[in-house]
Structure 1
Amino acid sequence: ERRVPSKYQILALGISLVGLYFLTTPEAGFNFGDLLTTFCAVSFALHVVLISYFTEREEVKEMELLVPQFVVVVLVNSMLIPFVKGEVFVNGSIIFVALFSAVFATIFAVTVQLKYQRFLGSVGASLIYVGEPAFALFFAMILLKEIPGKMEVLGLLFMTAGMIFGGTSSFIMRDRSVKN
């Protein structure tokens, strides 16, 4: 975007990353799953920046950007099916999960992101993405009655603080520029 993040946004990202470290507590070092996660993180970062770039124009409608994204997801996943180990089969529960994921995790989530990210910016949106593991732990505690360890709770608190601080820093910076 050719914009330098504010010192508050950088601090919020640092707090969130410390929280992520505590939440995941890596023990075995860097492995193949970490490599895939890093690749996904870079892909999501590019996705967030491109959405900010394309939604800054007021005349852009969400569906104009949603449909190509959905088609790409379908095509990429279809191309990867031959590389899945084991047998690929389809039954009622798999179709339900696929449809549920398509509607809520793809169509609904990306539509909301396309509609509202222009107000938050890519840095604020990335801080929300950083919070996904925190929300996963929070809902596992509520729905599955999981009991987190001290490090996980510390990580959850750090990530929540980073998200709140990063999200509010965008508004603080905007208010300061309006007053000046």
Structure 2
Amino acid sequence: MSKYIGEIMLFTTAIIWGSGFAFSAISLDYFTPYQILAIRFSVGVLILSIIFYNRLKHIKKSTIKRGFILGFLLYLAFLLQTVGLQYTTPSKNAFITAINVVIVPFIAFFMDKRKVDKFELSGAFLAIIGIGFLSLQLSVADINVGDLLTLGCAFGFAYQIYYTAKYVKDEDPILLTIVQMGAAALFAWLFVLAKGEVDFSLEWKGVLSTLYLGIFSTTLAYCFQTMAQKFTSETKTAIILSTEALWGMVFSVIILSEVLTGRMIIGAALILTAIILAETKPDFFKGKSLEDIKEIK
């Protein structure tokens, strides 16, 4: 039963994150990217600190150090994602972000010399082709800067996932999450003050959208992910969470009335196929060499 509870929590997380792309787009009409991140991370760390107050008494120096590293990576990824959303559509922003699950194995290869198998390599190439369908125009001069920023965000999230996997082995996941959120909030407020963006809108639509990001997309979603991974394998976790891109497109159509083009649909399908191929490694090809696969063809 706990296995299914974990999977339900992960699907809930993916749906919440998917909806977050549309609410981020709404929030950008009232706040700057720096203000949005400052609010959402502050809300996240405040709620988590209140709920898990007793655990804070047992926090370690290593947790604070590692949490700050994760917080910096998390803030950087969200900053690139949110700024990128100013120049691209929510659905493209969602799908390009999702390729972080394909990037992670390559980071592990360069950092830990872990082997990258043929499925991960094939998935990476498919993802690149998919991004081309989503983003590239007829000339280099027409490349959307928002898509490039979002691609940088995917790398940021990939590094955050990689280091989280390393650190969580020796740390309390909840405390690590709280420090991570706190560090991200600190970086966010430093940027807000440095840019002098201290005047915040009080328009209810913008406030509610940003609070949604803080309460649901940040606090609830990250808690669900942490708890769910106690019951679900890493591969299945990555597959389920990667569906946030699909939900991002769905909510963009429902909430923002975004019109999808044929290129976007093809690109989205290729990226989702890349993610699934890289993470599931179909049973039909397991244990077969490249020569065996050529013979099958």
TM-score (structure 1 length as normaliser): 0.71
Which residue in 2 is equivalent to 1:69? Answer: 180
Distance 1:111 1:120, change over 3 A: same
Structure 1 residue 119 corresponds to structure 2 residue 233: yes
Cα deviation 1:85-111 (Å, max 9, x = unaligned): 766224263443332212222223323
Query: 2:155 is aligned with what amino acid?
Result: V
Q: Is the 8 A contact 1:120 1:167 kept in 2?
A: no
Number of matched residues? 169
Query: 1:120 is aligned with what amino acid?
Result: E
**Cα distance in 2, alignment partners of residues 136 and 105 from structure 1:** 12
Query: 2:234 is aligned with what amino acid?
Result: L
Cα deviation 1:30-71 (Å, max 9, x = unaligned): 67646644543332221010111123x3x7433121101110
**RCO higher in structure (CA 8 A, sep ≥6):** 1
Cα deviation 1:106-152 (Å, max 9, x = unaligned): 2233234434298226xx749956x6555433332344443311111
Q: Is the 8 A contact 1:16 1:158 kept in 2?
A: yes
Which residue in 2 is equivalent to 1:164? Answer: 276
Percent identity, please.
20
Trace 1:95-114 onto structure 2 (pairs within 5 A): 95-114=207-226
**Cα distance in 1, alignment partners of residues 247 and 124 from structure 2:** 17
Q: Is the 8 A contact 1:51 1:114 kept in 2?
A: no
Distance 1:120 1:164, change over 3 A: same
Structure 1 residue 50 corresponds to structure 2 residue 163: yes
What stretches of structure 1 move > 6 A for 4+ residues in a row?
A: none
The more displaced of 34-43 and 69-78 is 34-43
Distance 1:126 1:31, change over 3 A: farther
2:132 corresponds, among 21, 39, 43, to 21
Q: Is the 8 A contact 1:20 1:133 kept in 2?
A: no
- Structure 2: give runs of 5+ residues left out of the alignment: 1-107, 288-297
Q: Is the 8 A contact 1:134 1:159 kept in 2?
A: no
Distance 1:44 1:155, change over 3 A: same
Structure 1 residue 10 corresponds to structure 2 residue 121: yes
Q: Please tell me the root mean square deviation across aligned C-alpha atoms, in Å.
A: 3.5
**Cα distance in 1, alignment partners of residues 270 and 174 from structure 2:** 35
Distance 1:101 1:144, change over 3 A: closer
Query: 2:123 is aligned with what amino acid?
Result: A
2:190 corresponds, among 69, 79, 102, to 79
TM-score (structure 2 length as normaliser): 0.46
Distance 1:15 1:34, change over 3 A: closer
**Cα distance in 1, alignment partners of residues 257 and 207 from structure 2:** 28
Q: Is the 8 A contact 1:15 1:162 kept in 2?
A: yes
Q: Is the 8 A contact 2:131 2:271 kept in 1?
A: yes
